[in-house]
Chains A and B, each alone.
Chain A
Amino acid sequence: MKKSNSPSGKKRKSPKKTAKNQRRPWFWRTFFRFVIFGAVLLACWMVYLDAVVTSRFEGRRFEIPSRVYARPLELYDGAGISAGALERELALAGFRKGDGTKPGSYRRNGGRFVISTRGFAFPDGAEPRRQLALSIYRDRIENFSVLRGESSPIVRLEPAQIGGIYPAHKEDRILVQLEDVPELLTQTLLTIEDRNFYQHFGVAPLSIARAMLANIRAGRIVQGGSTLTQQLVKNFYLTREQTLLRKGNEALMSVLLEMHYDKDDILETYLNEVYLGQAGTRSINGFGLASQFFFGEPLKDLQIHQLALLVGMVKGPSYYNPRRHPERATERRNLVISEMEDAALIDSVTAARARGMPLGVSERPSYSENRYPAYIDLVRRHLARDYREEDLRSEGLRIFTTLNPAIQYAAEYSVTDTVPRLANASELEAALVVTAKDSGEVLALVGGRDPQFAGFNRALDANRLVGSLIKPFIYLAALEYPERYTLITPVQDKAFALEFNDGRRWEPKNYDGEERGPVPLHEALSRSYNLPAVRVGLDIGVGEVRDTLQKFGVSSDIPEYPSMLLGAVSMSPVTVAQMYQGLATSGFNTPLRTIREVTDAQNAPLSRYNLAVDQVADPAAVHLVQYAMQETMREGTGRSAYYNVPEELALAGKTGTTDDGRDSWFAGFSGDLLAVAWVGRDDNGATSLTGASGALPVWSRFMAQVPQHGFAPVMPDGVGYHWVNGQRQALTNEYCDNARRMPFIAGSEPTQEVSCSGVLQKRIKGWFEGLFQ
């Protein structure tokens, strides 16, 4: 301590001398210290780099996004689809118009199609490649046959990819294995990018020297001396900045990588890692996805000129982007083809032919990731029940949904085409949900007037009062007591006031303010009169109506106030669709589904979401409600649907309107489809719309665009149809005035009979009607 307290004076006195005397040992000591220190530091750094290299390489090398598929189109005799819809479907699944011979192409001649499928590995087995022929007549498939490939009366097309769930860094890729990559591609790649790949140890000093020489001679960078390994390391671990330190790291890591892994492993990783393009925020990595992205074809099906283009693009994916800069891309491609020829990979005739080919790039990327934002939103919420977000983003899961692109197209069109024509359209928003009536599969979902906008999803999140949509459930609860209520039971359309214990009064009114006195129950429902609905609901009991709603799948809070009987309950369009599913079938609750199956990247099943049904109501009572809901369409509040829909399409449905037109609803179904439309303002403001003037036009325009079966429910056990005179509450004769054929639960039909005079004459007259005019 003492010494060190006063050395400064000493040192100042003879610095030169001391330095001179001690220079050599001091210098060497320090030098060795530095060298040792440097060596240790380098060793540590190498250990660190080694850990970085191996951990990334050993562990999950790639985060693979999950792929979301539409439902595959099933082709068979009798399948309902229009020629236009089939063509759109084919385009969406990446088929090209051509000769119909090459896999992934089709030929159309009027209503006649020849389609060559690529085959697809479905979770329940593979669909092999086939060539199919079919015709479409009156929106149905006829003369379906398999021209080539395994014969089958029914074939599934490969499903369209409709979205993906991407890793945080937004890299997208389709993993390929080296043995599945065309050999010509790898040979071309090595010829262009790294001829000595199988000889060098990660870096190629000779190549670097050669490149430097060339660059100096040219005065600019014309050659890169990087090996494939270095390129991989650069992409894989490092930032894009060009510094000497980074170059050093790159070289070290390349050597380390080569020490740990064999050449094929590195090459395969390179093929999957290389950056080849950009689609919005999503980056296109690897040759597997690039092939799909630029040509809409799997890698194994690419032709020579297409392979050459992809290899050429490695040098500068955006500079040589064939969609944006076709001339540059062609020039680069042809250079690669010449190199292939020089390296004797192809003969000169093949090369010349390949140089003469057009680029062959598909017009637009095989799919756009944001095509169906509302639908994908619902899929993600369903997935969130069973999967962790990070697994969805990285494990390469395959998610098979129930989206029907043809139905979705019609749904979007009906919203975008109808909403702007409504009164005060600029303030209006809309939602539309379409499900398959008997399976509960959600086929289409529109979350707003701009279906491409990935924002507030009204189909799921707009919880709005449902108004008269509640009425079928009130009458259903009543009709389950056939001794008290039938379709012709007179119900009072007459004002009344309810007084609560706290002194408040409630005086419900009809929409038109009128009162009609006694009306038959079916008319009260089909014309949507408020006063009879409240009276019947109070008679049956608010609690019972609430139970009915809960049985039909409403899980949200349902208030027990009488105002609930006029629809003072908030629901989203999807919830309404769930609730109406049971009405559309004969009282069977069918949980709504968007996902059929999830598999891992290797096609091993992870989850299946099976069809389920649960009988929650008496089919006979439901049948009577269905009768009145059909009457709604023919004679009641829904009849304007037939401005759009063909007369022969039998439909059933119900309008819903809330105070001041804040919500305009329509829910209804055909033989195949159930659809719920909502129109209103996001700020819950008043509109001049009713259910019939806002949501119904959207709904009926949708129904008019889709070929389908009419609604014709099977008469359940214990229901009989009778000719009745509603006013007189009596059975009557078909040819009497006021006769109506209506369903009754056995034993509840009227016992009294009324006749009318001249029945026989009327019947005979009926037979001759029109004959002598």
Chain B
Amino acid sequence: MNMRNGLWVPVAAAMLVMAGCATAPGESIYVPVGGQPTDAPEPPRTDVGTNTDSAPVWRKSEQPEPEVSAPVESAPQSSSPSYRDAGEQLSPAALSLVREADALLAQGNVPAAIGRLERAQRISPRSAAVYFKLSQAYVVSDQLGTAEQFALKGLSVAGSDLRMQRAGWLLLADIRRARGNVAGADQAEERASAL
């Protein structure tokens, strides 16, 4: 445990930073039912983008910048198979549970922390951060095999979020090293530094 503690700080810090910004593009599409399936067609959605304050101002002559984040694939109307580049962010409700879990972990109450994190996972099941947090809780309770699986699960939904990916690969490297899997740890570290 001790040798791992040093590495925890940057990982945990990075995750908290990321958890801070809630709601982002790339959320999967929520489809309400609205009671009657025979309802008249709904008015076109003006995208539920809540962060209108940060909307860019477009000028007519503007050229695209070299590194624009990939456009959201497959608009809702499209009938082609959909996928996303980006993972989802923690919802504010899930974030509050993650914070409670942090406090419980600090008190050494791992089962209660895991309980909070599982609640957060049910609310934001497509957010990498919540799986990394679960992984962290299992490291604290010395269940490294379980911790490794949650790190992998988190990476599987991290998508193009480079900071999240980096946190995940470093976490995985830590866990693998602690389990004696040096080659696996090195490989994970390489992935992190290649980002």
Residues of chain A having any CB pair with chain B under 8 Å:
74, 76-80, 82, 84, 123-125, 138-140, 152-154, 436-439, 441, 585-588, 596, 605, 608, 610-615, 619, 623, 626-627, 630-631, 634, 644, 646-650, 652, 671-672, 704-717, 721, 740-741, 743
Instruction: Assess the A154–B80 pair: CB atoms within 8 A.
Output: no
Pick from A588, A712, A743: contact of B84, CB under 8 Å: A712
Residues of B within 8 A of A587 (CB): 156
Residues of B within 8 A of A585 (CB): 153, 156
Nearest chain B residue, comparing its CB with the CB of A80: B30
Interface size class of B (residues with CB under 8 A): 35 or more
Instruction: Assess the A623–B83 pair: CB atoms within 8 A.
Output: yes
A716: shortest Cβ distance to chain B, in Å? 6
Known: A671-B126, A714-B156, A741-B80. A139 touches B93 (CB 8 A): no
B38: shortest Cβ distance to chain A, in Å? 11
Instruction: Assess the B116–A648 pair: CB atoms within 8 A.
Output: no
Nearest chain A residue, comparing its CB with the CB of B157: A714
Instruction: Assess the A707–B31 pair: CB atoms within 8 A.
Output: yes
Residues of B within 8 A of A74 (CB): 93, 119, 122-123
Instruction: Assess the A439–B122 pair: CB atoms within 8 A.
Output: yes
Residues of A within 8 A of B187 (CB): none
Instruction: Assess the A648–B93 pair: CB atoms within 8 A.
Output: no
The yes or no answer to B180 lying at the interface (CB within 8 A) is no
Q: Identify the interface centre among A124, A710, A711: most chain B CB within 10 Å of its CB.
A: A124
Residues of B within 8 A of A76 (CB): 91-93, 123
Instruction: Assess the A715–B84 pair: CB atoms within 8 A.
Output: yes
Residues of B within 8 A of A123 (CB): 115
B84: shortest Cβ distance to chain A, in Å? 5
B30: shortest Cβ distance to chain A, in Å? 5
Report the Cα distance A706→B80, complex, angstroms.
22
Pick from A138, A154, A615, A710: contact of B153, CB under 8 Å: A615
The yes or no answer to B51 lying at the interface (CB within 8 A) is no
Residues of A within 8 A of B150 (CB): 613
Instruction: Assess the A650–B82 pair: CB atoms within 8 A.
Output: yes
The yes or no answer to B136 lying at the interface (CB within 8 A) is no
Residues of B within 8 A of A80 (CB): 30, 32
Known: A76-B93, A76-B123. A713 touches B31 (CB 8 A): no
Residues of A within 8 A of B122 (CB): 74, 436, 439, 441
Residues of A within 8 A of B74 (CB): 650, 712
B36: shortest Cβ distance to chain A, in Å? 11
Instruction: Assess the A630–B82 pair: CB atoms within 8 A.
Output: yes
The yes or no answer to B103 lying at the interface (CB within 8 A) is no
Nearest chain A residue, comparing its CB with the CB of B79: A634
Residues of A within 8 A of B118 (CB): 439, 596, 610-611
Pick from B34, B83, B114, B116: contact of A712, CB under 8 Å: B83
Instruction: Assess the A704–B37 pair: CB atoms within 8 A.
Output: yes
The yes or no answer to B97 lying at the interface (CB within 8 A) is yes
Instruction: Assess the B29–A648 pair: CB atoms within 8 A.
Output: yes
Residues of B within 8 A of A646 (CB): 31, 33, 37
Instruction: Assess the A77–B32 pair: CB atoms within 8 A.
Output: no
Instruction: Assess the A631–B156 pair: CB atoms within 8 A.
Output: no
Pick from A82, A437, A721: contact of B35, CB under 8 Å: A82
